[in-house]
Structure 1
Amino acid sequence: MVEYWNKIVWPMLEGAQMTVLLFFIAIIVSIPLGFLLTLAVKSSFKPLSWLAHGYITIMRGTPLLLQLLLICFGLPMVPIIGEYLVFDRFVAACIGFILNYAAYFAEIFRGGLLAIDKGQYEAAQVLGLSKWQTTTRVILPQMFRVALPAVSNESITLIKDTALLYAVAVPELLHFAQTAVNRDFTIVPYFIAGIIYLIMTLILTLLFKRLERRYKFE
């Protein structure tokens, strides 16, 4: 029995490493990119603002799975330049997750900016702060504080969405669970995969709860 558990659990834990790696890459890149998109949306240069709005609308309005399939299998079929758009499956998945989640984080940060009272800007002007000082010392800290709960929820969704890697043949957690199910004709690997996902989301939840308590959300 122990040998069988080791036979199915260890490969799944190896797949979970791929899951965690994708999560960290996507988070580290998509959050700054999302903030840049927020700035683009609020830009007084209208073409840039419209372009950012259009990007966010498309990325949030179409399924992440469709975007992954397009990047992995669709881009190489583009005439003339398709041969230069062939990516490793994991790299393609990272690109898809980053582009998708950047759009969601952009909307979260935009909401955080809208939640800041205009009086904060006026007070900063009265104190003689420059536009840069107002942004970095007054606005951004408050924006991130307001946006933190939503960022937490989106991050938890991200770690669960990594299961979509299975659809583009990246050997992650769900891939090894499905392999074990097909090989042994048992649903036990599904439950083990669910427990592993639950542990990862619980750890992430506790980390964000600690951050929220630090910033006095509770």
Structure 2
Amino acid sequence: MTGPTRSTTPAKKVVVFDYGFGNVRSAERALARAGADVEITRDFDRAMNADGLLVPGVGAFSACMRGLKDARGEWIIGRRLSGGRPVLGICVGMQILFERGIEHGVETEGLDEWPGTVEPLDAPVVPHMGWNTVEAPADSQLFAGVGADERFYFVHSYAVRQWGLEVTNPAIRAPRVTWSTHGEPFVAAVENGALWATQFHPEKSGDAGAQLLTNWIGTL
């Protein structure tokens, strides 16, 4: 009797972009558990050539943008997306994908992959820290297999409160936008072609977060 057949398909290569802002070790462990071959680096060629690029982010929008530019991250993200190569942004790594961020009255330009402004949350308690539910589109690939009552881990004081990108061409798949509420509705996740992002931390969100990362890796 022969033993079980093992898959010979190589694991997808994912780079966690290390530009000085983000919980890179937590992301590395979570991606590895989800089946990826993970490397933490800021090396241009490795980040460009990986099957998937994860861009983490914690702290201030302006500081993350400076760190990203110092590491040529804006070039890497832009060139990957122009070639249809997947990028996943997490937390402030999602926020910097928008047009601008406003913190303490100071406006900072983002990567402008999506229109929109990252602004302070209007809520009784800030920061929004802890577990919360989300409202995902029925045809979301990111949330496939995730129950509607699942909760995800958030830590943030700023968010995108309005989604501004409209797609009128029926031949183009419109972005799938997921929402959550803390005092007011805000964008919790986006799926837009090769560019996906979450405001919450999937790497800290238990089994539900692990399913999201598995879903993303499955698209690489």
TM-score by length of 1: 0.24
Between the two structures, name the one with larger relative contact order (CA 8 Å, sep ≥ 6): 1
Judging by fraction of residues, say which structure has more helix. Answer: 1
